[in-house]
Amino acid sequence: MAWRPDGAMLAYWTVGTDGLPVVKVRDVVLGDRTVLTVSDVLKAKETCGWSAKDVQLTFLEWQEGGLIAVGLRGAGQYDYGVAVVHQDLGLRGVVRSPHNCYIPAARWAARTPVLVAFLYGPACGLTESLNRALLVDKAGGVMRDLTIGRKGALLLSDLATWAAIPGADELTVVRLNGPQEQYVVPLQGLIGWCCAE
């Protein structure tokens, strides 16, 4: 489940009358309504080859303006996607993972409709120690592909002007719009994922 940032609506997935997963939103005043069905997902060209019985929903993530990122999974080991759904207009688009990546999560920028979809997997990046992150627009289109550390992170600024990408010994800050800029901030004595120096 996921609350819309203003707390007025809750998104959740459940099983529809046909036995397949659906995404519903619950307005605190008006009640429930369905905003995404498996049938909607299968109409997207990106989900070619998927069948209704194989589609699973994995995560929900709200954006302030009423968009919801819905994690999708097909039948294959690396058969993932993210649907961008508007609370009133329905499905806007789908981004599907490459054949060697999975998508465990996606996060919106706080104040603009730009989504980061994380692409993980041992062969998903340029090397085994690298993975990727996709920047996705409000229509479900990929805007940019960025390199991140293996199972790493990418944090967008509120307006998606900058991205911060943590590494083992440094933090890389990249400008996402306007002139190309990049800064590297050394990190010393950082407590890592499993051990402290």
Tell me: the pLDDT tens digits for 55-87? 999 999 999 889 999 999 998 889 999 999 999
What's the pLDDT at 103?
97
Q: Where are the beta strands (DSSP E) in 50-169?
A: 56-62, 67-73, 80-86, 90-96, 106-108, 115-119, 130-136, 142-149, 155-156, 162-166
pTM for the model: 0.87
Asked if 165 contacts 157 with a C-beta cutoff of 8 angstroms, the reply is no
Of 12, 137, 3, nearest to 70 by C-alpha is: 12
Residue 109: pLDDT band with limits 50, 70, 90: very high
Q: What is the pLDDT of residue 197?
A: 45
User: What is the mean predicted confidence (pLDDT) over 88-112?
Assistant: 95
pLDDT bin (cut points 50, 70, 90) of residue 7 is: confident
Cα distances (Å, whole numbers) of residue 171 to 130, 134, 186: 15, 18, 6
Q: List phi, psi (to 5°) of 41.
A: -60, -45
> Above 70 in pLDDT, residue 21?
yes
Residue 104 in contact with residue 82, Cβ under 8 Å? Answer: no
Provide the 10 A C-beta neighbour count for residue 138: 18
**What would the mean pLDDT of 133-141 be, rounded to a whole number?**
96
> In the predicted model, what is the mean pLDDT of residues 24-51?
91
Look up residue 183 and give its two tokens. Answer: 């800064």
Closest CA to 95 of 108, 78, 81, 76: 81
Q: What is the mean pLDDT of residues 26-50?
A: 91
Q: Assess contact for 82 and 61: CB atoms under 8 A.
A: no
Across the chain, mean pLDDT equals 91
Check whether 190 has a pLDDT greater than 70: no
Cα angle 144, 182, 179 (rounded to 5 degrees) comes to 70
